[in-house]
Amino acid sequence: MGDRIAAFDWSGSLGPIEAWPQSLKTIVAFVVHSPVPIVMLWGEDGIMLYNDGYSVFAGDRHPVLLGSKVREGWGEVADFNDNVMKVGLAGGTLAYRDFVLTLNRTGEFEDVYLDLDYSPIYDDDGVPAGVLAIVIEISDRVRAERQLLADGDRLRFLDALSRATEASRDADEILTVTTRMTGEHLGVSICAYADMDADERGFTVRGGWSAPGVRNAVGHHRLTDFGQLAVSTLGEGRPQIINDSRAELPPADAATYLALNIEATVCMPLVKEGRLIALMAIHRDKPHHWTEAEIALIHEVAERSWAHVERVGAEAELRETAERLHFLNETLEARVAERAAQLQQSEATVRTVFETSFMAQGLLTPEGQVLYANTTALSAIGATLNDVAGRDYWDTPWFATTPGMADRVRETVASVAAGESIQFTMPLHLPTGERVYEFSMRPAFDPNGRIVALVPEASEVTARVRAEDALRQAQKMEAVGQLTGGLAHDFNNLLAAISGNLELLEKRIDQGRVAGLQRYIDNAQGGARRAAALTQRLLAFSRRQTLDPKPTDVNRLILGMEDLTRRSIGPLNELEIVGAAGLWTTRIDAPQLENALLNLCINARDAMAPNGGRITIETANKWLDDRASMERDMAPGQYISICVSDTGTGMDAETIARAFDPFFTTKPLGEGTGLGLSMVYGFARQSGGQVRIYSEVGRGTTMCIYLPRHHGTAEEEALAHSGETDHGDGERVLVIDDEPAIRALVVEVLEDAGYIAIEAPDGPSGLQILSTDQRIDLLITDVGLPGGMNGRQVADAARVYRPNLRVLFITGFAENAAVGNGLLAPGMEVITKPFAMKAISTKIRDLMDR
């Protein structure tokens, strides 16, 4: 400060330092070197000169304060300093202790506590010319003392409060005393407590204290009436503090407060596990600036009283539980005593129940060792308990003589020991004979849920099963009888036609009437053709027909037969075709599928006669999951569906159940054969698919064929077949057939088409040719052959050293199974006897072009 005073331009106030009176210079030197904060106020204006200590006290007012007039420098206390100057310049002194001035030293006004001493300074002539002020700030000390006092006050109050409530065991009483004491202590108008509703939207003021003459707020209130601020603040567990409802709240919210005379409030929330459950509210009927001390006190009171209330509640619960336990204990002891004579009695009863049961019963350890078996179980194997006790259950005479049963029982024991209950029908070869049991095993648990034993039980159902088998057998015979009857009937008719015409033919020839004989020949042949068609359909049903599956675009197939379909259903019926876009390819015998669809359409037509209706053919891709496929009795996976719907009579449950049976028809004699659906069914099943009926009497029927998806497109395969040559190119074909006529026929076809044919009459001689290294491009073989090898065996043997050999089998219906019912390896094809020349030459070309 010395340097600052020396450098200051004093020309406008005290004049240059050199011209200062000696007394001023001396005093300034004294002041500057003093460690005590001192300020000098010189002359009438009180020009300010001060030291380092004072500059600290002056805060942000320094350094502007230096050289200023004191009444202007400290404008906020100008009156005070005016008095100081007057007294000092008159030669008087002033002293203040614990004195408060409101000063602005930091940009904010604050109460500053001071010890102040003022004394006059005399000039060289002995006349008072200024005032010397010693300024000691004691704000920190004063605040600390006040805090101490307040703390003491608070602690005394809390102490008094806890002494007044500690003995209480009643929540309402605790809260009543607490609110009264707190309200009186703080001098407020209301101190209340409230329980929140379960939905946290409203609360009920249960009780509390109100100052004399103030209406209390007991009753139910909606939290939202107290404003959004209250909802959000309290919901977050923070206290709501309002110093002046009118000034701080939106008018609508303020109205609620003012209606309850709440002009200032502190509301303490109690939050437990994230939920607002109670409130303690302190109100004043005048605006009030809540001090931190007051808020802290309210907070502490609320926390303490709630903790107390909770403890009291928990204690009460504990007492109650203890009493209940005590009671239970006593009754239990009494009952146990009563039960002990009874228990012996019931054990004997249980044993009797076991031993007289018709069921075979036992008890195993959780590991599967036999603990016990009853009389019925033991007599089945003619053993005593001693023979089986302690042995592994699966390793006992019950199961030892039935192949595979020991393993199955061991697995069952493991599953049951893991907590499962298991039940199955168990056929056993027992020393006492062939028996069938309905067998079950379940775990027995102790009260803690641990498995303590396994309980096997078995009741004999041998007689029932035998009866059921007999019934099934009888039903089968009945069905076979019906089928055979139907067949015999149809064949009789056909045979009658054939033999009748042959007889007539014979008669006419005997009579020498040879004109018009062709008619009898045509009629007989017609009968034979119908008989062949009938066997074809039966084979289809028995899934033994020869199929020639090819990747097929079913949408295209349906469009290709649209004309035929329309002609077959007649003009009375509408036909709609809905082909799914992106329909998957399926590998199927296309002519058979056409046949099947035509059958469905004709059934639909019949069901809508005589008025006609609408037939819809619809295709779709189907992804059958485990459940959907189980429902339809198919393997899970990807399928296409082709559904034919009609608006006809529909079928009742009985018709649906029998519709697929061969010869089942509801149509008049001569109209229905009952073979249409049986053929469709056999075909779909043989192709790896399924047929399903959805029908409602009076509304119509939907018949759906499901066929497995084929990966690859129909086009690819068609492309591979294009570029056909009309004639063979010297390729060599081996023909094996024991029938010289058929062999000659095939050789003729081959040579016509430009191939070289080699012949063999039986399997071994054919195989001999195949085992040489001469060129063979194709093997054509009959399936039924003499000489110990059939055609299939020859082909399989040849493929061992000619893996790519192409093969065409010629079969009669009976040998179909030998060539996999038409499902063959690539490069193998089948043609069925009798065949047309055209058919076999197409097949041969087909195979050669692959």
Question: What are the angstrom distances between the C-alpha of 742 and each of 66, 381, 448, 811?
Answer: 140, 66, 83, 12
Q: Are strands 732-736 and 690-696 parallel, antiparallel or unpaired?
A: unpaired
Identify the residue among 73, 269, 527, 676 touching Mg ion (CB under 5 A): 676
**Is residue 666 near ligand ADP by the rule CB under 6 A?**
yes
Residue 319: name its binding partner from ligand ADP, Mg ion, none (Cβ under 5 to 8 Å by kind): none
**Is residue 701 near ligand ADP by the rule CB under 6 A?**
yes
Q: How many residues bind Mg ion (CB under 5 A)?
A: 2
Please state, in angstroms and rounded to a whole number, the distance separating the CA atoms of residues 694 and 684.
17
Please state, in angstroms and rounded to a whole number, the distance separating the CA atoms of residues 20 and 8.
14
User: Closest by alpha carbon to 759, among 776, 735, 775, 741?
Assistant: 735
Q: How many CB atoms lie within 10 A of CB 287?
A: 14
The nearer residue to Mg ion, 679 or 770, going by C-beta atoms, is 679
Identify the residue among 443, 613, 674, 791 touching ligand ADP (CB under 6 A): 674
Cβ-Cβ contacts under 8 Å for 604 (sequence gap 6 or more): 569, 573, 615, 644, 645, 646, 648, 701
Identify the residue among 245, 673, 687, 832 touching ligand ADP (CB under 6 A): 673
**Is residue 665 near ligand ADP by the rule CB under 6 A?**
yes
Q: Which span (284-292, 418-426, 485-493, 603-611) binds ligand ADP, by CB under 6 A?
A: 603-611
End-to-end CA distance of the chain: 116
261, 278 Cβ separation under 8 angstroms: no
Give the DSSP per-residue string, 341-374. HHHHHHHHHHHHHHHH-SSEEEEE-TT-BEEEE-
Q: Is 33 exposed, middle or buried (0-12, 13-18, 19+ CB in 10 A)?
A: exposed
Residue that is written with structure tokens 């061991």 in the block: 410
User: Closest by alpha carbon to 584, among 522, 503, 639, 507?
Assistant: 639
Residue 651: name its binding partner from ligand ADP, Mg ion, none (Cβ under 5 to 8 Å by kind): ligand ADP
Residue 604: name its binding partner from ligand ADP, Mg ion, none (Cβ under 5 to 8 Å by kind): ligand ADP
Full strand arrangement of the beta sheet holding 202-210: 219-222, 202-210, 190-196, 275-284, 264-272, 240-242
Token representation of residue 235: 């919901």
CB of 605 to ligand ADP, least distance (A): 9
Token representation of residue 322: 């203890």
CB of 549 to ligand ADP, least distance (A): 23
Cβ-Cβ contacts under 8 Å for 459 (sequence gap 6 or more): 358, 359, 360, 437, 438
The nearer residue to Mg ion, 676 or 766, going by C-beta atoms, is 676
Nearest residue to ligand ADP by CB is 676
The nearer residue to Mg ion, 393 or 663, going by C-beta atoms, is 663
678, 639 Cβ separation under 8 angstroms: no
**Is residue 612 near ligand ADP by the rule CB under 6 A?**
no
User: Closest by alpha carbon to 776, among 741, 730, 811?
Assistant: 730
What are 831's strand-pairing partners? Answer: 810
Q: Which span (146-154, 312-320, 446-454, 648-656) binds ligand ADP, by CB under 6 A?
A: 648-656
Q: Which span (266-274, 384-392, 644-652, 771-779) binds ligand ADP, by CB under 6 A?
A: 644-652
**Is residue 672 near ligand ADP by the rule CB under 6 A?**
yes
Residue 674: name its binding partner from Mg ion, ligand ADP, none (Cβ under 5 to 8 Å by kind): ligand ADP
Backbone angles phi, psi at 198, to 5 degrees: -60, -35
Per-residue binding string, Mg ion, 498-517, x by CB under 5 A, is: --------------------
CB of 659 to ligand ADP, least distance (A): 4
**Is residue 412 near Mg ion by the rule CB under 5 A?**
no
**Which residues from 556-615 bind Mg ion, rule CB under 5 A?**
603
709, 571 Cβ separation under 8 angstroms: no
CB of 557 to Mg ion, least distance (A): 20
Q: Is 13 exposed, middle or buried (0-12, 13-18, 19+ CB in 10 A)?
A: middle
Please state, in angstroms and rounded to a whole number, the distance separating the CA atoms of residues 542 and 681.
9
Rg (CA), the chain: 57
**Is residue 118 near ligand ADP by the rule CB under 6 A?**
no
- Compute, in degrees rounded to 10, the torsion defined by CA atoms 64, 66, 72, 77: 100
Q: Which span (102-110, 357-365, 441-449, 600-608) binds ligand ADP, by CB under 6 A?
A: 600-608
Please state, in angstroms and rounded to a whole number, the distance separating the CA atoms of residues 619 and 806.
35
Please state, in angstroms and rounded to a whole number, the distance separating the CA atoms of residues 142 and 154.
18
Residue that is written with structure tokens 């199961």 in the block: 399
Identify the residue among 651, 746, 783, 824 touching ligand ADP (CB under 6 A): 651
User: Length of the chain in residues, anyone?
Assistant: 850
Q: Which span (446-454, 671-679, 810-818, 839-847) binds ligand ADP, by CB under 6 A?
A: 671-679
56, 2 Cβ separation under 8 angstroms: no
The nearer residue to ligand ADP, 527 or 674, going by C-beta atoms, is 674
CB of 496 to ligand ADP, least distance (A): 21
Identify the residue among 309, 378, 604, 705 touching ligand ADP (CB under 6 A): 604
Token representation of residue 228: 């959004």
**Is residue 351 near ligand ADP by the rule CB under 6 A?**
no
Identify the residue among 193, 209, 226, 664 touching ligand ADP (CB under 6 A): 664
**Is residue 646 near ligand ADP by the rule CB under 6 A?**
yes
The nearer residue to ligand ADP, 165 or 701, going by C-beta atoms, is 701
CB of 563 to ligand ADP, least distance (A): 21
The nearer residue to ligand ADP, 457 or 646, going by C-beta atoms, is 646
Q: Which span (68-76, 162-170, 193-201, 651-659) binds ligand ADP, by CB under 6 A?
A: 651-659
The nearer residue to Mg ion, 681 or 809, going by C-beta atoms, is 681
User: Closest by alpha carbon to 575, among 628, 495, 647?
Assistant: 647
**Is residue 655 near ligand ADP by the rule CB under 6 A?**
yes
Q: How many residues bind ligand ADP (CB under 6 A)?
A: 22
Residue 659: name its binding partner from ligand ADP, Mg ion, none (Cβ under 5 to 8 Å by kind): ligand ADP
**Is residue 682 near Mg ion by the rule CB under 5 A?**
no
**Is residue 649 near ligand ADP by the rule CB under 6 A?**
yes
Identify the residue among 156, 215, 667, 699 touching ligand ADP (CB under 6 A): 667
**Is residue 396 near Mg ion by the rule CB under 5 A?**
no
CB of 425 to ligand ADP, least distance (A): 35
Give the DSSP per-residue string, 754-779. TPEEEEESSHHHHHHHHHSSS---EE
CB of 680 to Mg ion, least distance (A): 9
Residue 665: name its binding partner from ligand ADP, Mg ion, none (Cβ under 5 to 8 Å by kind): ligand ADP
Positions in the binding site for Mg ion (CB under 5 A): 603, 676
Binding residues vs ligand ADP (CB under 6 A): 599, 603-604, 607, 646, 648-651, 655, 659, 664-667, 672-674, 676-678, 701
